[in-house]
Chains A and B, each alone.
Chain A
Amino acid sequence: MTRTVPLLICLTAAAVLTVVLCTFIGPAGFGFVSTAPGAADIVGGIRLPRVLSAFFVGAGLAVAGAAMQALFRNPMADPYILGTSSGGALGASLAIVFLGGFFVPLFAWVGAVVAILIVWSIAGRRGVVAVETLLLTGIAVSFFFSAIVSFLIAIAGQNVHQILFWLMGGFWNASPADAILSACILLPAGALLFFMGRDLNALSLGEETAAHLGIDAARARWVVLGGSTLLVAGAVSIAGSIGFIGLVTPHVVRMLLGPDNRVVIPAAILVGGILLVLSDTLARTFFSDLPVGIITAFIGAPFFIWLIYQRGSVT
């Protein structure tokens, strides 16, 4: 408890530092104070929106991951668990194959939200929903949508490359509008989940326990799912499905600060943002703009294994 506040302050400083530093790093060079022609355009018009988008998307995925893990009482849950990423992938693939690549973000967003709505309505058909039902329905819907995406890839012809790149996730086309949009999703949804911290704590011990502790468990569940869906659908529509940030970040945070969600949520915002900005900077600077999803998985998976190996169990 005593080290929570100093650590949160350090994380905030690290986040600001990361955003600032990474804005001045890139294949085109340009140091901190550059007067070269075009420097302002590249730094302000391309890099800054990209860095900020990566930060907000990473933060959103991490928060949604932490919320899902608490809600599903399972440290292995990730933000895509209810079909958001496959729904987004289906929407994006449809736009690429049938609309020549126009409206990809919009279609991805609609696809992600539709996936969640389908899962909700199937799982909630009988009135009372068990989280287990939600989880299994999500997995089934995910597989079904993935099958359609695979079918689209099979018939896509020359668009295969574009679909595959979208699936791996990245920030190539991040515009100032994307940065603003992602901030506009993260700030309210992040605040919402932050104030649901207690409900998440109680829910992570079980819905009945939460109800016995005076929490409106049913309402809390829908609020958490709604907030997470907004965050994840937004992230998917801006950057495709970037893996591992949403799964690994909450574990890192719980290792540092313990499992209390009133602390985990704000810390996940900072750590998730930092991790994705660093990964994206790595991708665009040293790997000739590789999809950042490859980097996060490439670093995230071994890191996760190391975590499990170190602790003998997951946090």
Chain B
Amino acid sequence: MSDRHSIEAENLEAGYNADVIVKSVSCSFAEGSFTGIIGPNGSGKTTLLKAFSRVIPSSGILELDGKAVRDYTPAELGMALGFVPQDEGRPFPYTVLQVVLMARYARTSRFSALTPVDYDRCCRALDETGIAHLKDRSIRALSGGEWQRVLIARALAQDTRVLLLDEPTSHLDLSHQTDILSLMRRLAGSGSTIIGIFHDLNLAALFCDRLIMIQDGRLVADDTPARVLTPEKIRAVYGADVAVSCHPATGRIFLMPLASGNGSSEQVSSLHILVISGGGSGADLLHFLSGRGFRLSAGILAATDTDYLAAKALEIPCIAVMPFSQIPAHSLEKLKTALHHADRIIFSGHPVGPGNLPVLLALRDADPARIIIHLPADRDFNSYDFIKGAAAAALRELCAAGAECTGSFDGILGLLRPVSPHDRNLRSEP
């Protein structure tokens, strides 16, 4: 990536007739960068991209390679900037090669024929997009994904320094998505400026150096994927809840949509649930419950625990402690407060040893009617006991005092019904 900017926009406004869709956008794109534009449907992403390519008139400053875009002749612009639309009508049965050859019109006079150089460039573009075998096929006989690759090949054959892509992979299958976006990465690596609109935020995070987030035609975030794709921003812009984590294989951030509350959960979603887990036993449960709209918190978790990462990703508060060390007294105090305030406490079966026995013992002070023990069907209390029977005894004691025990998530859901007068009040709330 260099410091030279190929596109620079300042206070850009664009729209159709009197309808201003892109409002006062300022941003610039460095040579050799791959930028993703994201935002909900109708936020003005395509309008912004088309304002860059001048097919939608704009006001404000818009420069391409240091020269005002409005000063380019149409042919100059066709040699400087390529555009891949979402889709394109196919009223006539051109062959694939004929369509891709149109990329070279800007470079040759209308009074002379296209040269072998033009043909070679177009055939290379067909190779790069993996559609060389479709060269003589009628475009009307192509699938949506094949046609999308033809449009990409045509833009490549224009040999432009800037490439604008409007959802370039919306019709592609998994492997072609990766192929095309890897190709775009390579192009960026060799100095091209790539700007693409993405709906798949994970793909955008995986391939882009930088993301621009648009909402209502305004630029609301412009930074690295990790800084743009935060749960807060996504909730504010998309109105959707997601869990963000770091993908272990790529080191890139990774989003997971969380289903918002469904039907039966509405009556209990105001319950505050404390999940006591460890050693990865509670991650699935946290995802499961958070998808059903409960207010959750987690107990004491070591910072290396999978449960800790799950809680972080889901933005569930927990009490973090150093791994492989004694639980500090103040953390235990916090847990006791949490136990006191929770409407329900779920103990998710996990190994208990001398280190975390105090947690289990603290549970004895809580109201047993509020405690649910999640014990998977193939396990018994003894299998979690690493302290010569003390843990198993404590758990049995809880059951005897009235704590419910269940083997499945659905069983837990069933037990999360209101029991006390206090809970009934909660249920009657809208």
Contact = CB atoms under 8 A, between A and B. Distances in A.
Interface string A175-197: 00000000000000000000111
B50 interface: yes
Contacts of A215: 74, 78, 105-106
Nearest to B114: A198
A209 B88 contact: yes
B55 A208 contact: yes
Tell me whether chain A's interface is mostly helix, strand or loop, or mixed: loop
A201 B105 CA distance: 10
Interface in B148-175: 154-155, 158
A204 B91 contact: yes
User: Chain B at the A interface: mostly helix, strand, loop or mixed?
Assistant: mixed
B50 A213 contact: no
A143 to B, nearest CB: 25
A254 B77 CA distance: 31
Interface residues of A, number: 32
A14 to B, nearest CB: 24
A117 B103 CA distance: 33
A284 interface: no
Contacts of B50: 208
Interface size class of B (residues with CB under 8 A): 35 or more
A213 B92 contact: no
B225 interface: no
A202 B91 contact: no
A158 to B, nearest CB: 47
Contacts of A199: 110
A313 B17 CA distance: 37
B83 interface: yes
B85 interface: yes
Given A195-B110, A206-B88, A213 B93 contact: no
B386 interface: no
Contacts of A226: none
A26 to B, nearest CB: 39
B53 interface: yes
B15 to A, nearest CB: 12
Contacts of B82: 212
B103 A213 contact: yes
A258 B102 CA distance: 15
B79 interface: yes
A214 B78 contact: yes
A216 B78 CA distance: 10
A198 B102 contact: yes
A202 B105 contact: yes
Interface in B58-106: 73-79, 81-83, 85, 88-95, 98-99, 102-103, 105-106
Nearest to B95: A258
B17 A126 contact: yes
B324 interface: no
Given A74-B91, A206-B88, A213-B78, A260 B98 contact: yes
Contact of B79 (A73, A206, A214, A315): A214
A40 to B, nearest CB: 42
Given A212-B53, A213-B103, A214-B77, A315 B85 contact: no
Given A202-B102, A214-B74, A254-B93, 9 more contacts: A70-B92, A73-B89, A201-B105, A204-B92, A205-B88, A209-B85, A216-B73, A258-B94, A258-B98
Of all A-B residue pairs in the complex, the 7 with the closest CB atoms, nearest first, are A214-B78, A214-B106, A259-B92, A212-B83, A216-B74, A214-B75, A208-B55
